[in-house]
Structure 1
Amino acid sequence: MVLHNPNNWHWVDKNCVEWSKSYFSDKLVGVSVKSDNASVNISSLDSLTGDVDVNQRKGKVISLFDVKLVLGFKGEVEGGEESEVSGSITIPEVAYDTEQDEYVFHISLTAETKEKQPVKELIRAQLIPVLRQKLARFGPDLIETHGKDIQHPVNENRSVFTSSAQSNQGISVGGATVNGLGSTESKSSSSAAYNTTTLRLDPVFQTSANELYKTFLEPARVAAWTRSPPVKFDNKEGGEFSLFGGNVSGKFVKLVEDKSIEMQWRLRDWKPQHFANLNILFDQGNSETKALVNWTGVPIGQEDVTRQNFEEYYVKSIKLTFGFGAVF
């Protein structure tokens, strides 16, 4: 069932935790390997905790996930006094930005003894490489399975802007060129005024003000939590920035180290030349930092879009990328 979302323009989010449990049970349980003196197989998915979401906005589908898996296994050692072996494999992080060779596996044997060690060695040598390959398929399979549930096909869109974003091809529309990311480069300089309002958020991060300030401003860190190098990022007062393929852009107005970031800030589909003023104050406590996020000049009707984008692409992504707190 496709959710109601004309032209795939609005933010749509789908929680896929339950599907993920079924997915990993299907793909991992039953996987087995064998050597000359031992054998082992994944017998159960004991737990899956964390977040799995597929999101759609302006014709683009992305996934954000970060889960912890605990797998049960059973094995056998041939010719040993304790032939039957059981235990668990904990994978503390399966995340959207984890590379195949970065997965970590903690192996625990029930009542571990020297006689059971061949099973542990077999897991390390043969089972873990198989698990790495299967875990690496999760992200692509997640998008393939659930992307169609939250996005209409390109040929059903009546919006050339959204269709362009989906097909990643440039389209010329009435004197404006729309690139593959859905941005518009218009020959017109028209920027009719909006009726505007204010907006405030106060997310909490489990880190220091210094670390959080650097996370918003250091190019390498920005590239990590935006999942791609910025289109433009001049991190000084008066410097311009363009993130998420140009979906967010602006200019830094005032930077006070570890204290605040003030900027002109806009979403791509706002009227040309219209910027809101965005001020982020870093309020450090004993073990956490609250980011007091304040906008003025947000177009009326864009409050929810602005809030949702910032919470998802800034707050949640930063927490998942750097471990700065739980996401909900």
Structure 2
Amino acid sequence: MAKWGEGDPRWIVEERADATNVNNWHWTERDATSWSSDKLKSLLMGVRVENEEGECEVTAVSKVEGEASINNRKGKLIFFYEWNLKATWTGKTKAGIKYTGSIDVPNLSDENDMDDLDIAVTLNKDEPETPLTALMKTKGADKIREALGSYVGFLKTEFTQGMILPTANGVSNPQCSQSKTKVDKTQISSGSAATPPNTGVRIPTCKFSLRETFLTSPAELYRVFLNQEMVQAFTHAPASLDAGKGGRFRLLDGNVLGEFIELVPDQKIAMKWRYNTWPSEHYATVTLIFSDRSNETELKAEYRGVPEREEESTKQGWQRYYFQAIKQTFGYGARLY
């Protein structure tokens, strides 16, 4: 047997220091069913929409039935997944009247594009008619489709880590292959031969800024964003927060994640920030600048690297779950820009 480094270059199988699945030649399979079930529940529970009639959200996932797996053969990844999903949505009008209904998704699979996905939204039989049903059938169904598309993206990036092993030169060369000839529009590239593994994904992004005025001092408003008890108060949900440079945070039941990258007391907060429905490991950069305006504080929020298709939902999310929530919780209400 030849020594390491003396192999004949005509050999089909490349050498590896650990002699494990040389050149990714052998068939390997990974069961993604349990991971997928948890991920699907998490993504669906993050769906929320609203309009002038009221708001709707997914409040329970009652059925996640199916399976998922990934196969690696000769450096190619082949994805199999098939799911039947059922969930409950709850609507609330501006007047405070609540409604409930169901969501059925019978055909989430590798054979169907996201555009072909059947999403049936119905109102419970004992409920009176409401315009909120139409809201869930339109905007709600679109959000559900986006969430399920994110699941496919996570499956092809986050869950596949380690399936394509590095070769002798330390570089992996993953190639994604569909189990059918139909191409899934949600497929996210896992990199080229020259790209190290686990580097994230490339997606179209945008930048924008928002301004709000709060009836409080910069020091107090700055503290609101970094004090765990105050964050839990205005988000009305458990939060995990390490208020220091490099400290990580997790808000809104894990729907928002991030890390503080720069902190200037009472003046500036810069952070890596993401929704958990975004492509795996993709973060935007959010910078908050606090300016003293006599008895008020002007907050300028700058956003860079937000996925283009998430621009409006990110703006609405910050205005509702940060700015408006802070004003309502702590009494900092002031005029809106």
Residue 159 of structure 2 aligns with which residue?
186
1-structure distance, mates of 2:266, 2:247? 18
- Corresponding position of 2:51: 14
The answer to whether structure 1 residue 218 and structure 2 residue 227 are counterparts is yes
Q: How does 1:1-328 map to 2 (within 5 A)?
A: 12-15=49-52, 53-56=54-57, 141-142=97-98, 148=133, 150-152=135-137, 176=155, 186-188=159-161, 189=198, 191-230=200-239, 232-326=240-334
Residue pair 2:258, 2:272 contacting (<8 A) in 1 also: yes
SS in 1 for 2:309: coil
Q: CA deviation at 1:224?
A: 0.7
Q: For 2:52 and 2:311, how far apart are their aligned partners in 1?
A: 23
- Cα separation, partners in 2 of 1:265 and 1:173, compared to 1, 3 Å: closer
Aligned residue identity for 1:268: N
Gaps of at least 5 residues in structure 1 are: 1-6, 17-52, 66-137, 164-171, 178-183
Is residue 216–residue 222 contact of structure 1 (8 Å, CA) maintained in 2? yes
* More helix per residue: 1
Residues 166-204 of structure 1, C-alpha deviation per residue, up to 9 Å, x if partnerless?
A: xxxxxx979959xxxxxx963444722123221100111
Provide the rounded CA distance (Å) in 2 between the counterparts of 1:323 and 1:195.
38
For 2:211 and 2:200, locate their aligned partners in 1 and report how far apart those are by CA, in whole Å: 31
For 1:318, the aligned partner's letter is I
TM-score, normalisation: structure 2: 0.49
Give the Cα separation in 2 of the matches to 1:157 and 1:204.
Answer: 33
Distance (Å, rounded) in 2 between the aligned partners of 1:324 and 1:250:
25
Q: Judging changes above 3 Å, is the alpha-carbon distance between structure 1 residues 198 and 148 closer, same or farther for their aligned structure 2 residues?
A: same
Q: Structure 1-normalised TM-score?
A: 0.50
- Name the structure 2 match of 1:104: none
Distance 2:244 2:300 in 1: 21
AA at the equivalent of 2:222? Y
Q: Residue 56 of structure 1: CA displacement?
A: 4.2
Secondary structure at the counterpart of residue 271 of structure 1: coil
Range with greater deviation from structure 2 (194-203 or 144-153): 144-153
C-alpha distance in 2, partners of 1:207/1:64?
Answer: 31
Distance 1:159 1:190, change over 3 A: farther
Matched positions, count: 198
Contact 1:56 1:150 in 2 (8 A): no
For 2:250 and 2:132, the matched residues in 1 are separated by 26
Deviation digits for residues 91-116 of structure 1 (CA, Å, limit 9, x no counterpart): xxxxxxxxxxxxxxxxxxxxxxxxxx
- SS of 1:54's equivalent in the other structure is strand
When structure 1 is superposed on structure 2, of 246-255 and 192-201 the one drifting more is: 192-201
Work out whether residues 203 and 290 of structure 1, in 8 Å CA contact, stay in contact via their aligned partners in 2.
Answer: yes
Offset of residue 313 of structure 1: 0.9
Kept in 2, the 8 Å contact 1:8–1:157? The answer is: no
Q: Distance in 2 between matches of 1:161 and 1:197?
A: 18
Q: Percent identity?
A: 30
CA contact (8 A) 1:253 1:263 kept: yes
Q: Report the Cα offset of residue 160 of structure 1.
A: 8.1
Please tell me whether the aligned partners of residues 8 and 152 of structure 1 are also in contact (alpha carbons under 8 angstroms): no
SS at match of 1:319: helix
1:63–1:285 distance in 2 versus 1, CA, 3 Å: farther
Distance 1:158 1:253 in 2: 30
**Matched letter for residue 301 of structure 2:** V
